[in-house]
Amino acid sequence: MSGNAVRLEAISEIINQQPVGTTVPFTEVSTSDIFGENVFSLSVMQKRLPKDTYKLLKATIEAGAKLDASTANAVAAEMKSWALERGATHYAHVFYPLTGLTAEKHDSFYTPDGKGGTLAEFEGDTLVQGEPDGSSFPSGGIRQTFEARGYTIWDVTSPAYIMENPNGTTLCIPTAFVSWTGEALDKKTPVLRSMQALNVQAQRVLKFFGTDGAFVSSTAGAEQEYFLIDKNFFYARPDLLNAGRTLFGAAPPKGQEFDDHYFGAIPERVLACMFEAERECFKLGIPVKTRHNEVAPGQYEIAPVFEFSNLATDHQQLIMVNLQKVAEKYGMVCLLHEKPFQGVNGSGKHLNFSMGSANAGNLFDPGATPAENAQFLVFCAAMIRAVFHWAPLLRAVVASASNDHRLGANEAPPAILSIFLGDELTEVFESIAKGKELGSRKRVMHVGADVLPEIPRDSGDRNRTSPMAFTGNRFEFRAVGSNQSIAGPLVAMNTIMAESLDFCATKIEAADTSTPKKLGAAVEALVKEVYLECENVIFNGDGYCDEWHAEAAKRGLPNLKTTADALPVLKTKEVQDLFEKYDVLSARETESRYEVYSEQYTMTINVESNIMLKMARTTIFPAAVRYQGELAISLANLKDVGIDADTDTLTYVTKLIATMQGAIKALKAAKDGEPEGTEAACDYCRDTTIPAMEALREVADKIESVVADDLWPLPTYQEMLFIR
């Protein structure tokens, strides 16, 4: 059998595939009818719960009030009844351990009744608390293997939902996950704690503007980028199967240089998959809004509208699960790795962040006259200060081995944390801080064709190279990786905003604010102080250019280029004190995150290097040697008949094979030399193992570019990215 038999079979399967049908009656039921149909939402609870119970529950969800046991019992009874009506046989406490993935423990509603039958049971204590094994999840030293007890605790602020399966349905209950000692073993608990801290400090500021009282929550909407490739290609690539990215692969003749995929017409098979994935999201109450082709071939995006941060975090996990599950039905695999293909754009998860309350509205909305909007100026100044003082922490919470491939490349912001404000807002702050004249700007645009109406012009342009860009009424944290939970970034952003608002509130409280004029003067003084201290973090230019890296260094802005550089920030006293002060994470909980994420970094590099060695030895090297042998035989045969053929190709291939053998030995030696100790292992991976991996890939990709196509065993970039 020829070396490319698997490739040819995969291509044949794709070309000859039949259109994938769907069991979803898209034309029979409207989106408005199905939206939230599988969610035990507030509207469902209002219809089913006693008025007093519903009122108490609503106060917990919207204002952070405590929930008592009697309320939990009443909710559990109706939740069980609602789930059984929808065919549920089991319930699952769903939680988010430090793996960054979704975990769930399923239990049956039914227990023997002692009379040969069963009885459906689900009480308040069962709803509120579960007990999964806590020893097999990463804990960073908080739990040892022999200390197994862990608890899941019902998060009443995130609604329960029904997850459908062809053979049944399950009631899913979002929960927090803590150890027997009460320490957070998950992603959700710190999110809820940080939201509580943010509310406390925001209320101190809002009382000066008469908009305090209602719970202030951060809100988030994360744009999810992803790749879709045919499953036949996926299963023919050991690197994709085991690492989620291609560890080898020569550049195709055509990449993304024509920009012809971005916002292009969506292929029919892909669009069918998108429709069904969105429909599944709608049934779970996930407000997905946008879909389109992304820049790289085979890359796409889905984006929801804003929700409270804890709910947005849960829904973001469900979006990833749905994308992967539905893609399989259409014979595809959804790749969520930040950089599955070298040389084309990777995938991010742009985290749009804002905050507000029922009384105050969106606190990052500048209004028509931002220079006169004192409340906005305080909160915007707090954000500027937060990013300036806590940039290393923001870099640390998006650090991973996979995101290192993307940050700083031409589709992602650099590892230097800066803020883009746009021209108008920059002028506003400059006028307050430095007395510069505030220019006037047209807020409408006429484009020169009479048939086109005038349109409103935003207060600033967009800057896709900025890691933290103001985009009209929110800040867009563009450095988050596509495969990451948004929980970590939200915990950091909530907490640093709480700290910064604490600073702002303390300054205003110390000033004379007895009249509106004096309050205005206090706000002006605060904004001036913050801007003059933190203006170095403002950058409205091209974050990709080399000049910015040099300029950022002059400004004293940190540039933590890799995960090994960034994660030690979590061990610093400043960061641990920050989280402890606002009751978000104890010092032990913060350090545990460092241990877990560092271990994930080194394990990822070790797994990838193992795969590279195996593929190089058993797949790429044999293909190269076969081609070398065929060339040698052909040249010998030509020489036998008196023809002197050019031996340059044989010489080149022989040289590449020798280089590859050396690169294999070097990578094996690098792996064998890894030191003990968390930080030392991370540094070693960065400085030794990864360069050895890159050297092996470089020579293997050159071999792919010269070996005869009928001998090459792996699906190529050209095939995976362009055959759909």
Convert 572-617 into a string of H (helix), E (strand) and C (coil): CHHHHHHHHHCCCCCHHHHHHHHHHHHHHHHHHHHHHHHHHHHHHH
619 with 553, same domain: the answer is no
553 with 678, same domain: the answer is no
CATH assignment of the domain containing 665: 1.20.120.1560
- For residue 47, give every residue at least 6 positions away whose Cβ sits within 8 Å of its Cβ, in sequence order, or none: none
Report the pLDDT value the prediction gives residue 116, as an integer from 0 to 100.
Answer: 65
Domain finish residue from 186, 214, 236:
186
Average pLDDT score over residue span 113-121:
63
Count CB-CB contacts under 10 A for residue 268: 10
Cα(660)–Cα(658) distance, integer angstroms: 5
552 with 607, same domain: the answer is no
Taking phi first (over 0 means left), then psi (-120 to 50 degrees means alpha), and beta for anything else, what does residue 150 get?
A: beta
Average pLDDT score over residue span 559-575:
96
* Separation in Å, CA 441 to CA 447, 449, 549: 16, 21, 31
Q: How far apart are the first and last CA of the chain?
A: 26
Beta strands in 283-385, from DSSP E residues, in sequence order: 288-293, 299-304, 307-308, 332-335, 349-357, 361-362
In-domain check, residue 20: no
Average pLDDT score over residue span 285-304:
92
668 with 546, same domain: the answer is no
pLDDT at residue 658 tops 90: yes
Total residue count of the chain as it appears in this document: 724
135 with 42, same domain: the answer is yes
Higher-confidence residue of 565 and 472: namely: 565
Cα(530)–Cα(533) distance, integer angstroms: 5
- Max Cα–Cα distance, the chain, nearest Å: 105
57 with 166, same domain: the answer is yes
CA-closest candidate to residue 314, choices 494, 205, 191, 203:
191
In-domain check, residue 131: yes
Higher-confidence residue of 264 and 38: namely: 38
In-domain check, residue 575: no
550 with 418, same domain: the answer is yes
Domain finish residue from 137, 159, 186:
186
* Separation in Å, CA 643 to CA 4, 606, 632, 634, 647: 30, 49, 14, 11, 12
User: Over the chain, what is the mean pLDDT?
Assistant: 89
Average pLDDT score over residue span 256-261:
78
Report the pLDDT value the prediction gives residue 622, as an integer from 0 to 100.
Answer: 96
Higher-confidence residue of 451 and 648: namely: 648
In-domain check, residue 9: no
Is residue 165 within a helix (H) or strand (E), and if so which, with residue range?
Answer: strand 161-165
Count CB-CB contacts under 10 A for residue 684: 19
Please, are residues 577 and 591 in contact by the beta-carbon 8 Å criterion?
A: no
Domain count, the chain: 3
pLDDT at residue 475 tops 90: yes
Residue 148 pLDDT level (bands cut at 50, 70, 90): low
Flag the least confident range among 305-314, 351-360, 457-466, 686-695. 457-466
Does the predicted model carry a pTM greater than 0.75?
yes
Residue 21 pLDDT level (bands cut at 50, 70, 90): low
Cα(80)–Cα(484) distance, integer angstroms: 32
CA-closest candidate to residue 476, choices 464, 460, 492:
464
Structure tokens at 470: 């103001």
Flag the least confident range among 124-138, 180-194, 278-292, 482-496. 124-138
Average pLDDT score over residue span 563-572:
96
pLDDT at residue 371 tops 90: no
Cα(662)–Cα(205) distance, integer angstroms: 63
Higher-confidence residue of 107 and 131: namely: 107
Higher-confidence residue of 391 and 58: namely: 391
577-602 per-position pLDDT tens digit: 999 999 999 999 999 999 999 999 99
Report the pLDDT value the prediction gives residue 134, as an integer from 0 to 100.
Answer: 64
DSSP 686: I
165 with 82, same domain: the answer is yes
- For residue 228, give every residue at least 6 positions away whose Cβ sits within 8 Å of its Cβ, in sequence order, or none: 270, 273, 298, 300, 327, 332, 333, 334, 335, 724
- Residue keyed to tokens 């807002």: 425
> Which of 17-31, 170-184, 376-390, 410-424 is predicted most confidently?
376-390
Report the pLDDT value the prediction gives residue 455, as an integer from 0 to 100.
Answer: 47
Average pLDDT score over residue span 448-457:
55
Please, are residues 578 and 494 in contact by the beta-carbon 8 Å criterion?
A: no
- For residue 694, give every residue at least 6 positions away whose Cβ sits within 8 Å of its Cβ, in sequence order, or none: none
90-100 per-position pLDDT tens digit: 999 999 999 88
Enclosing domain of residue 471: 409-480+522-557
540 with 631, same domain: the answer is no
Give me the percent of the chain exceeding a pLDDT of 70: 91
Report the pLDDT value the prediction gives residue 410, as an integer from 0 to 100.
Answer: 52
Average pLDDT score over residue span 23-50:
83
In-domain check, residue 164: yes
pLDDT at residue 703 tops 60: yes
417 with 542, same domain: the answer is yes
Torsion of CA 606, 607, 612, 615, to 10 degrees: 150
Domain finish residue from 166, 186, 206:
186
Flag the least confident range among 350-364, 454-468, 608-622. 454-468
In-domain check, residue 582: no
* Separation in Å, CA 587 to CA 322, 397, 569, 592, 595: 35, 16, 13, 8, 12
Angle at 200 between CA 466 and CA 353, to 5 degrees: 20
686-698 per-position pLDDT tens digit: 999 999 999 999 9
44 with 182, same domain: the answer is yes
Report the pLDDT value the prediction gives residue 12, as an integer from 0 to 100.
Answer: 74
In-domain check, residue 305: no
In-domain check, residue 653: yes
Residue 28 pLDDT level (bands cut at 50, 70, 90): low
Flag the least confident range among 29-33, 112-116, 269-273, 554-558. 112-116
pLDDT at residue 370 tops 90: no
> Which of 13-17, 65-69, 257-261, 538-542 is predicted most confidently?
538-542
Residue 173 pLDDT level (bands cut at 50, 70, 90): very high
CATH assignment of the domain containing 115: 3.10.20.70
608 with 553, same domain: the answer is no
pLDDT at residue 459 tops 70: no
Report the pLDDT value the prediction gives residue 125, as an integer from 0 to 100.
Answer: 78
pLDDT at residue 123 tops 50: yes
Report the pLDDT value the prediction gives residue 87, as an integer from 0 to 100.
Answer: 92
pLDDT at residue 369 tops 90: no
